[in-house]
């Protein structure tokens, strides 16, 4: 039995489908007409979900850490300057807002550059593959049988 069957979702390989809480043989059309709600949800395997989650976290983790570092830096600046007075706290707050605005704008530009560069490399790689496959096809058509 697969994990799908134990969770109450009928397996695609089985001889029956789970319909409105009961198993219906595949050839029984009358039962299908009585209960039109057929559960067809595909089961997500644990290893596929965990590997996807690991990949997402490996990509998102550094970005989240960077953002938390920027915000923490602003909080620490405010706490350190807080002993001087309210004008200093206001100045640090405005400086922090300006710094975060410039930093986030720069990160957006960097992200756009990465996306554009990746697309460019992808198009070059696909064009290279297309040229190579055309050469192979031409060689096969010229080669006598």
Three-state SS string over 20-66 comes to: CCEEEECCCHHHHHHCCCECCCCCCCHHHHHHHHHHHHHHHHHHHHH
> Which residue is listed with tokens 């039109």?
36
pLDDT of residue 87: 92
Q: What is the mean pLDDT of the chain?
A: 70
pLDDT of residue 122: 78
Give the residue-averaged pLDDT of 17-32.
51
Cβ atoms of residues 26 and 15 within 8 Å: yes
> What does the longest C-alpha to C-alpha distance in the chain come to?
90
Model pLDDT for residues 103-136, shown as the tens digit of each residue: 889 888 888 888 888 888 777 777 776 666 666 6
Task: Give this prediction's pTM.
Answer: 0.40
pLDDT of residue 50: 77
Domain boundaries, the chain: 3-34, 62-141
Give the residue-averaged pLDDT of 26-31.
53
């Amino acid at each position: 039995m697969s994990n799908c069957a134990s969770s109450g979702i009928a397996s695609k390989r089985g001889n029956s489908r789970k319909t409105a809480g009961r198993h219906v043989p595949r050839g029984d059309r009358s039962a299908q007409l009585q209960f039109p709600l057929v559960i067809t949800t595909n089961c997500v395997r644990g290893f596929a979900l965990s590997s996807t989650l690991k990949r997402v976290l490996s990509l998102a983790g550094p970005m989240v850490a960077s953002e938390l570092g920027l915000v923490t830096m602003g909080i620490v600046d405010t706490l350190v300057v807080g002993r001087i007075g309210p004008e200093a706290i206001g100045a640090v707050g405005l400086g922090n807002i300006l710094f975060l605005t410039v930093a986030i704008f720069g990160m957006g530009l960097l992200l756009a550059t990465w996306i554009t560069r990746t697309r460019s490399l992808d198009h070059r790689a696909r064009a290279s593959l297309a040229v190579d496959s055309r050469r192979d096809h031409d060689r096969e058509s010229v080669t006598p049988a």
